[in-house]
Amino acid sequence: MSDNLDLSTVLAAVQDDNGGSMTPPIVQSSLFSFDSYDDLEKRMRGESNKTFYTRVQNPTVAAFEGLMAQAEQGEAAVGFASGMAAISSTLFAFLKPGDRVACVEHVYPDTYRLMERILRPFGVEVEYYPPETLENDATLYDGLKIAYLESPSSVIFQPLDLTRVAAHARKSGTITMIDNSWASPVFQQPLTLGIDIVIHSASKYISGHSDTVAGVVVSSDEHIKTIRDLSLSLFGGKLAPFEAFLLTRGLRTLHARMMQHQATANLFVDRLAAIPHVRKINSPGPNEVPGLTGRAGLLSFEFDDSVDIRRFTDALKHFKIGVSWGGFESLVLPAPVVLAQAAENNSLQKFGASPNLVRFNLGLENAEDLWADFQSALTKSTV
Ligand SMILES: *Cc1c(COP(=O)(O)O)cnc(C)c1O
């Protein structure tokens, strides 16, 4: 990355070689032909890196990958069809039966299912730890293949000191991976804190417009080459050119959107703290752990027992009821509904979450309009 440029400037950079176009062309081609026998032979021998098949490489996807690598201050990036494709493909690029994985508790529910329903039967040992243990217990890293992290974790948003985890992992040769979807590179750049591999569900803040499902991984040239050659190529969960185009478009406004999400989240956190019916607010902010520089718009809080969460949810007007997050629109997700999912697949049940918990995705609407909506719904739902 160019020295000392703010991330907003980096994300606005126009890629060269497109005849003056501000945007990357959408290259909707499955294959790319070779000029000659020699040209083809060089590629097959691995002596050239020429783009030849869209399952492995594509120019529109490469434009997005290049911008993502700069955003996270990594050497390279690889796009995927979804966040889960990115997570599963990254884990499978490095794991073999008999390996041990340490995973943070309250991990994204489908990542928990991946660990329990696919990795464990495949012969990988998976252990879960709260943030304090991952930060303080150096012995758990002995012989550990992968530390799988989220900071903050899902739904209860517990942050983790990534510098401490990275220091333990380095000593043991453990590979560290983090799902950085919540913070985005605007608020946290884990590679600069010593983490090896950053993963995003690009469906969230990177897209920002609730119109794309995608994933991306950023790391060293060496790790990205391994992931691209093995699990991208062989599982085939590639990012499509049109989706990559939309994600590049999303990155252009990522910084400005995160600032707006943060301003609204700050307003909510200040005012929620003064509401007697609110017991606990989960919303990590700047410097709560080293390297975290902002507060994202995805947060949760607990009501006391006097609030009827069903009535509260239905009384909201500007918050749509739904999963996912990171888009322009505000959303509400009541935890009791998530807790109702089958226990064997449910990380929230496994690691505990209050049935009084409500998750908000604060979108780009006017903060006072959203707050007025919250207050009005609360008035209608206290018993
Ligand atoms: C949504 C999400 C994922 C999964 O991403 P998809 O793009 O839906 O596959 C992974 N991690 C976190 C934290 C998420 O919120």
Q: How many angstroms separate the Cα of 320 from the Cα of each of 21, 177, 210?
A: 37, 32, 13
Q: Which atom of ligand 1 is nearest to the CA of 181?
A: 13
Q: Is the pLDDT of residue 320 over 80?
A: yes
Residue whose CA is at the smallest distance from ligand 1 atom 4 = 83
Domain that includes residue 301, residue range: 254-381
Residue whose CA is at the smallest distance from ligand 1 atom 9 = 83
Domain boundary among 252, 269, 289: 252
- The Cβ of residue 82 has, within 10 Å, a number of other Cβ atoms equal to 19
Q: Which atom of ligand 1 is nearest to the CA of 154?
A: 13
Q: Return the SS3 of 138.
A: helix
Q: Is the pLDDT of residue 316 over 90?
A: yes
**224 Cα–ligand 1 center, Å:** 20
**105 Cα–ligand 1 center, Å:** 16
Domain boundary among 252, 283, 301: 252
Q: What is the pLDDT of residue 263?
A: 98
Tell me: do 221 and 369 sit in the same domain: no
Q: What is the pLDDT of residue 4?
A: 83
Q: What is the pLDDT of residue 3?
A: 66
| C-beta separation of 175 from 144 below 8 A | no
Query: Whole-prediction pTM value?
Result: 0.97
| C-beta separation of 216 from 86 below 8 A | yes
Domain boundary among 252, 275, 293: 252
Tell me: do 183 and 91 sit in the same domain: yes
Residue to substitute in 181, 198, 347 for testing ligand 1 pocket (most ligand atoms within 8 angstroms of CB)? 181
Tell me: do 155 and 288 sit in the same domain: no
Tell me: do 219 and 268 sit in the same domain: no
Structural domains of the chain, count: 2
Alpha helices in the chain (DSSP H): 7-12, 37-44, 59-71, 83-94, 109-113, 131-136, 162-172, 184-187, 221-227, 233-235, 241-272, 309-315, 335-339, 347-351, 367-381
Q: What is the pLDDT of residue 262?
A: 98
For tokens 């496994």, name the residue: 350
CATH number at residue 336: 3.90.1150.10
- The Cβ of residue 42 has, within 10 Å, a number of other Cβ atoms equal to 15
Residue whose CA is at the smallest distance from ligand 1 atom 7 = 83
**306 Cα–ligand 1 center, Å:** 32
Helix axes 241-272, 367-381, angle to 10 degrees: 60
**4 Cα–ligand 1 center, Å:** 31
Q: Which residues have any ligand 1 atom within 6 Å of their CB? A: 82-84, 108, 154, 179, 181, 201, 203-204, 213, 215
- For residue 1, name the pLDDT band (cuts at 50, 70, 90): very low
Q: Which atom of ligand 1 is nearest to the CA of 84?
A: 9
Q: Which atom of ligand 1 is nearest to the CA of 214?
A: 7
| Each residue's pLDDT tens digit, 8-38 | 999 998 877 788 899 999 999 999 999 999 9
Residue whose CA is at the smallest distance from ligand 1 atom 5 = 83
Tell me: do 192 and 332 sit in the same domain: no
| Each residue's pLDDT tens digit, 62-96 | 999 999 999 999 999 999 999 999 999 999 999 99
**83 Cα–ligand 1 center, Å:** 5
- For residue 383, name the pLDDT band (cuts at 50, 70, 90): confident
Share of the chain above pLDDT 90, in %: 91
Q: Return the SS3 of 100.
A: strand
Q: Which of 3-12, 142-151, 313-322, 347-356 has the lowest mean pLDDT?
A: 347-356
| C-beta separation of 182 from 209 below 8 A | no
CATH number at residue 163: 3.40.640.10
**337 Cα–ligand 1 center, Å:** 18
Tell me: do 265 and 334 sit in the same domain: yes
Tell me: do 355 and 223 sit in the same domain: no
Q: Is the pLDDT of residue 107 over 80?
A: yes
- The Cβ of residue 282 has, within 10 Å, a number of other Cβ atoms equal to 21
Tell me: do 85 and 11 sit in the same domain: yes
Distance CA 210, CA 167 (A): 37
- The Cβ of residue 159 has, within 10 Å, a number of other Cβ atoms equal to 21
Q: How many angstroms separate the Cα of 132 from the Cα of each of 147, 215, 239, 241, 252?
A: 14, 28, 36, 41, 36
Residue whose CA is at the smallest distance from ligand 1 atom 2 = 201
Q: Which atom of ligand 1 is nearest to the CA of 150?
A: 13
**358 Cα–ligand 1 center, Å:** 18
Tell me: do 204 and 269 sit in the same domain: no
Q: Return the SS3 of 184.
A: helix
Average pLDDT of the residues in 52-57? 97
Q: Is the pLDDT of residue 2 over 60?
A: no
Q: What is the pLDDT of residue 331?
A: 98
Residue to substitute in 104, 107, 204, 217 for testing ligand 1 pocket (most ligand atoms within 8 angstroms of CB)? 204
Which tokens in the block code for residue 275? 């509401």
**54 Cα–ligand 1 center, Å:** 24
Tell me: do 164 and 236 sit in the same domain: yes
**247 Cα–ligand 1 center, Å:** 15
SS3 content of the chain, % helix, strand, coil (to 5): 40, 15, 40
**378 Cα–ligand 1 center, Å:** 29
Q: Which atom of ligand 1 is nearest to the CA of 86?
A: 9
Tell me: do 105 and 132 sit in the same domain: yes
The secondary structure of residue 174, as a DSSP letter, is P
Tell me: do 261 and 216 sit in the same domain: no
